[in-house]
């Protein structure tokens, strides 16, 4: 078995109005939980590595853990660089064996974003690797990506069309109202579906990507707080809003915060209820099971991507 690109995953997603789950990975238990969930749901999956993950776990460890997951599960797994900040990190990941990279030039002016993205596309495509780019800015914080809400900018549909045509990028992350982290909205949740529909109509064959799409399910926030956490007022994107977005070209949905909350809640619970236990395998196994349950729920009930292998 080998890692695959997201090309065929997205082709099927576009044709059937579902999305592929893209889940961030940081250690063995998270990878195992995600892949076990995807296998149980008979769904392909994208494992994402962020700047924070590279710093924490180190690239060589993550790469070998993902390779082991492919061998162990036999399912289609795409290994993706999340929020690559420059050409050099994209090149490094491509050379190391990633099958997909994201170059995030959204902080640059339009023409600079195009030039940077095109450079990455040319290098990646020559080596059989696909590229995601971003146009528009999301509010919130994710690892070393920080954008003030006041400067958050929704994606312009005509710019999206020009951007895809001039760069040859394989998929495009757009800004329609989501944000990174556990505190996505101060008021009522909002996604700009009309903007999404317009973008999809202009570039119907381009898979669109939704970043910052965790729901921040209250059950898990409450459980974290019950067992010693302090996470007041967290709010995410309602799951029905994510499902609706998948009808209009969203083929990849990024989920990280929900996994963190699920795992942390169960680890906190286990330690609190088993004060004499000091074997890390025990509480990490509980966290791994929580990851699997969350990912299965997302694939089956939100992204509607089950039975697509």
Active-site residues, by number, are 82
Given a contact cutoff of 8 angstroms between Cβ atoms, the answer to whether 138 and 175 are in contact is yes
Given a contact cutoff of 8 angstroms between Cβ atoms, the answer to whether 133 and 105 are in contact is yes
SS3 content of the chain, % helix, strand, coil (to 5): 50, 15, 35
Sequence-ordered list of residues with C-beta below 8 angstroms from that of 214, at least 6 positions apart, any chain: 182, 184, 236, 237, 255, 256, 257, 258, 259, 261
Q: Pairing state of beta strands 139-142 and 145-147?
A: antiparallel
Cα(149)–Cα(138) distance, integer angstroms: 8
Residue 239: closest CA among 257, 216, 262: 216
Sequence-ordered list of residues with C-beta below 8 angstroms from that of 244, at least 6 positions apart, any chain: 191, 193
Radius of gyration of the chain (CA): 18
Cα(63)–Cα(57) distance, integer angstroms: 10
Cα(234)–Cα(232) distance, integer angstroms: 6
Element (H, E) at 88: helix 87-96
Phi (first) and psi of residue 134, to 5 degrees: -135, 140
Cα(229)–Cα(51) distance, integer angstroms: 25
Task: Show the CA angle centred on residue 235, arms to residues 103 and 43, nearest 5°.
Answer: 55
């Amino acid at each position: 078995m080998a890692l695959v690109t997201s090309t065929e995953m997205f082709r099927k997603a576009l044709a059937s109005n579902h999305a592929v789950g893209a889940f961030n990975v940081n250690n063995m238990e998270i990878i195992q939980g995600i892949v076990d969930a995807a296998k149980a749901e008979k769904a392909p999956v994208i494992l994402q590595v962020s700047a924070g993950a590279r710093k924490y776990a180190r690239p060589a460890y993550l790469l070998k853990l993902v390779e082991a997951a492919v061998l162990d599960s036999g399912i289609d797994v795409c290994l993706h660089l999340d929020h690559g900040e420059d050409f050099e990190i994209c090149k490094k990941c491509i050379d190391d064996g990633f099958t997909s990279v994201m170059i995030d030039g959204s902080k640059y002016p339009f023409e600079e974003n195009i030039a940077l993205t095109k450079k990455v596309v040319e290098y990646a495509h020559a080596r059989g690797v696909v590229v995601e780019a971003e146009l528009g800015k999301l509010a919130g914080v994710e690892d070393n990506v920080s954008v003030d809400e006041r400067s958050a900018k929704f994606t312009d549909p005509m710019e999206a069309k020009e951007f895809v045509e001039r760069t040859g990028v394989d998929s495009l992350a757009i800004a329609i109202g989501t944000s990174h982290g556990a505190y996505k909205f101060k008021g009522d949740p909002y996604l700009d579906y009309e903007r999404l529909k317009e973008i999809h109509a202009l570039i119907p064959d381009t898979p669109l990507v939704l970043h910052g799409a965790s729901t921040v399910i209250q059950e898990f926030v409450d459980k974290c707080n019950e067992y010693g956490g302090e996470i007041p007022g967290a709010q995410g994107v309602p799951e029905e809003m994510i499902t609706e977005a998948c009808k209009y070209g969203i083929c990849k949905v990024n989920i990280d915060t929900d996994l963190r909350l699920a795992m942390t809640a169960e680890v906190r619970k286990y330690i609190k209820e088993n004060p004499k236990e000091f074997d890390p395998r025990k509480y990490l196994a509980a966290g791994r099971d929580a990851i699997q349950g969350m990912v299965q729920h997302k694939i089956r009930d939100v992204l509607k991507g089950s039975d697509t292998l």
